[in-house]
Structure 1
């Protein structure tokens, strides 16, 4: 009888252990591989030590410590070796951080520098030793930290008791981005940094910063101070849906060089590259309000646009004049010096070519330079800026209209219209970023009944998740040119920070899994199950979010 009781108890414990192992993890984006390695657990205690293999990992250690303290109220300690010293001995692929007998378990961050996929990492939770994160590079260590964060509780006051697991993970695409339009509505530096944190928590690595458009110029140019003195402010704006109600209250704001450097530095600590966009030769009414002589109708008064969207497709454009090209050289040279990243965005979209067609001066320029049509003239502008940017050692990106008149192969195309335009870019040997509006514009409302963020849509969560980033009918070489994808947030109808958060969440999470996780690990049913926990994380971070997914799916949240 006693033996039977022992056997019954053993079977019960085995069943419970099996249930524990089968408990699903709620990690977004889904890792390549996650395995339960044992029955034990590890609890992160107050003052648990974070140890790093080299000083360059200090930002990842500090990030984790700050997260634990800010959101869970658990202070950790960090041990950073002095600059010039490393814990690495012998084989550079083997780390020498070991625990001495009786030494408390800790969190160890290691840069293996093994030359494998950038951003790849291994995370292992070993009950007797602690947590070990080994990255292929510094970015990989940081992404391992993000996965660890997603294993933590989603509310303060809950003990961070973690199962014995091993995660092997790496990104599917090199480019994983989010865009923010700060022109239609301006956002303070504090929110830009918060937005960058949201990207980091989703393992996104590019921040596309839309800084100029018809409605305003938002970045200081010391070479042209008039741009922010006049071009950063519009005389009022339209409230509500077009035609809306005119509010004659000046609206403005811009980022100084100091602001930009602070944001770029903040992003770099989170392994995010900032890509600034100066939109030319269309979407330039803020420039023309400052310099009317740069337009095809210099004698007509100009002002920054008050309306949104399609109405500004017909706004005047830059004219091909010597003083305009001098302006472009000055501005893009300063932009390259201000932003240390490799990429500069030239815009190039929705250029109203009728103004060039109606200008005899422009037509004369085209004849003199052998430009057969206005598409070729648009390419002339893009090529000119590309020469400036390339001269600074950087690479140009533009919206897919830049293909219309022909561009050089080293220019990267950002496909915002139908995927067919992205396929055209790939078939003409261009690296391509897919951000097709029907799947990737998060200013579109999430459901038909949603009233918080504007008139267009819907773009439901499932559609974002299901976007096919790599089109069909491509050769193997063309598939390699698919650099990645991004989500966009245009802010015509998003005047506040809470609406910006409401628009991107939870759709940023769907984007993140789409650009990070391998195709075979993507599963809508699994992702939709994880959304519940992700909402709890949004609440922990203090972020607003849309619950349209639960309403449209007729699913009750398990609060």
Structure 2
């Protein structure tokens, strides 16, 4: 049946006539499943040209919930006289409906019917439950802005692959992408740059067109609501204290004014780790508290990502104000100052019923200067803080051993902006070679973690950074088909990496490519890029040889 991700249990029912979806087919939706019924009418109904009207008479698609199942688990039963989808909650019913859509064939992924033939669904019994509760995808809209319709499209693509977290990287040195009403210059100034480096640092090429854009607060509300209807949580990232030059360009007082003239800093036009970081002042804390107050009003997600990565300390070392703060707080050094900064927002979010998540640098600085009283771990973080482990597995292992939840997203494994082949035709080749098979053999839980420690790995995430991705076509090329392999890793209970049946996966991908074609996804073909997917002459930054898993 070529399902991706592979379900937990699939039992074909040979000898039975298939179910035929036709004009008399009804959707019988029990309380709590009405949203799934609407989704079926809007997608499968549009693709087939059928009304799929409400009704209880056969033939029907019956949507039910059963509290004895896990919230995202489902059972799908197909017989000639009807289809039953039962989930542990509305999310489980929705994932079952996604499986039904795959069973209907690739044309079920189109927006209008191609012909009048009634689609058939083979009879089967499917039982399914995801391995991880956090099955994420990070879309970097700060480096290259992605219009709202692109984000909504990616929400649908995540849903089609049973991924349930969209991590939006909203702020960075190269752009601020979310309206904050109390600080209008963040978008008036911070959302726009004068030009853009084409390729990475060694490239001599520039796109001289101004680049920018941002989401209004109503845009964000729409994205969040659209995702919620598809049982996807949108997690915002507001980067601090590094990756903040766009904010400093808008409000120079946020920078280290006793070290550089921050009034001359523009929104950054090139890439790489940037020395211009936030000043560790009370004014900066109050400013970002104001930012996060509005962010919390827009995003109901439990987790809020605050970045915390790649924060050079040179300006803090040179700043008399920063050094005075280190002395005032009794900190050992600048790493402790970053830890103090992160802990402040950790507590601030916890006081408001939210949980901080950050890149694994938030573990740096240890418990130096941790305040007396209150429960903190050895890293000075509240127990509810979580870590996105990107610099390999080591940060995630350390966090789990200290009792913190972890989302595994190691750069060497699931950074989808990294090249897919070492051939000369790969567009703007950066990072390690990570093929479809490499992603399929990724294992989120390292062998060093066992039992309760392993349970702190609450999920996994694939990240798509967009320094070299200036269009949705470029994003599609690097995200797919590898995101399909990642989705199976995140959802299915696969054996150990070396025991995984990659040949079976590629056989199922033959059908899945046709689904992606129907959705208009411009994925990398198995034989290599189409001519229009190449970027000859644009220098990347390829890295030879992936480091071992540690």
Task: Please indicate, yes or no, whether the TM-score normalized by the shorter chain is above 0.5.
Answer: yes
CA distance in 2, matches of 1:248, 1:161: 53
Alignment of 1:189-268 (within 5 A): 189-242=148-201, 243-268=203-228
Q: Is the 8 A contact 2:275 2:314 kept in 1?
A: no
Q: CA-to-partner distance for each residue in 1:85-136, whole Å, 9 max, x for gaps?
A: xxxxxxxxxxxxxx6xxx431111111233x322000000011x21000001
CA distance in 1, matches of 2:45, 2:428: 33
Structure having the higher helix fraction is 1
Q: Larger deviation: 177-186 or 384-393?
A: 384-393
CA distance in 2, matches of 1:43, 1:346: 49
Alignment of 1:38-437 (within 5 A): 38-40=14-16, 41-54=18-31, 56-71=32-47, 73-79=48-54, 103-114=57-68, 116-127=69-80, 129-155=81-107, 156-157=114-115, 159-242=118-201, 243-296=203-256, 297=259, 299-300=261-262, 301-309=264-272, 313-405=273-365, 406=379, 407-437=381-411
Tell me: CA distance 1:391–1:515, structure 2 relative to 1, closer, same or farther (3 Å): same
Q: Larger deviation: 440-449 or 240-249?
A: 240-249
**Map of 1:525 onto structure 2:** 503
CA distance in 1, matches of 2:246, 2:217: 19
The structure having more radius of gyration, on CA atoms, is 1
Name the TM-score, length of structure 1 as normaliser. 0.86
TM-superposed CA distance for 1:252, in Å, is 1.1
CA distance in 2, matches of 1:76, 1:120: 27
Q: Is the 8 A contact 1:184 1:216 kept in 2?
A: yes
**Map of 1:438 onto structure 2:** 412
**Map of 2:533 onto structure 1:** none
**Map of 1:448 onto structure 2:** 422
Greater RCO (Cα-Cα under 8 Å, separation 6 or more): 2
CA distance in 1, matches of 2:175, 2:24: 48
TM-superposed CA distance for 1:314, in Å, is 3.4
Q: CA-to-partner distance for each residue in 1:404-461, whole Å, 9 max, x for gaps?
A: 1222321000001111221111111110000101111111121112433543332101
**Map of 1:21 onto structure 2:** none
Equivalent residues, number? 499
Q: Is the 8 A contact 1:454 1:493 kept in 2?
A: no
Alignment of 1:480-559 (within 5 A): 480-520=455-495, 522-547=500-525, 549-551=526-528
Q: Is the 8 A contact 2:436 2:481 kept in 1?
A: yes
CA distance in 2, matches of 1:490, 1:302: 23
**Map of 1:463 onto structure 2:** 438
SS in 2 for 1:288: helix
Name the TM-score, length of structure 2 as normaliser. 0.88
SS in 1 for 2:10: strand
Where does the alignment leave 5 or more consecutive residues of structure 1 unmatched? 1-24, 81-98, 553-559
Tell me: CA distance 1:453–1:532, structure 2 relative to 1, closer, same or farther (3 Å): farther
SS in 2 for 1:264: helix
Q: CA-to-partner distance for each residue in 1:122-152, whole Å, 9 max, x for gaps?
A: 000011x210000011100000001111111
> What's the C-alpha RMSD, in Å, of the aligned pairs?
1.7
TM-superposed CA distance for 1:52, in Å, is 0.3
**Map of 1:16 onto structure 2:** none
Q: Is the 8 A contact 1:175 1:483 kept in 2?
A: yes
Tell me: CA distance 1:513–1:457, structure 2 relative to 1, closer, same or farther (3 Å): same
CA distance in 2, matches of 1:159, 1:493: 44
TM-superposed CA distance for 1:520, in Å, is 3.9
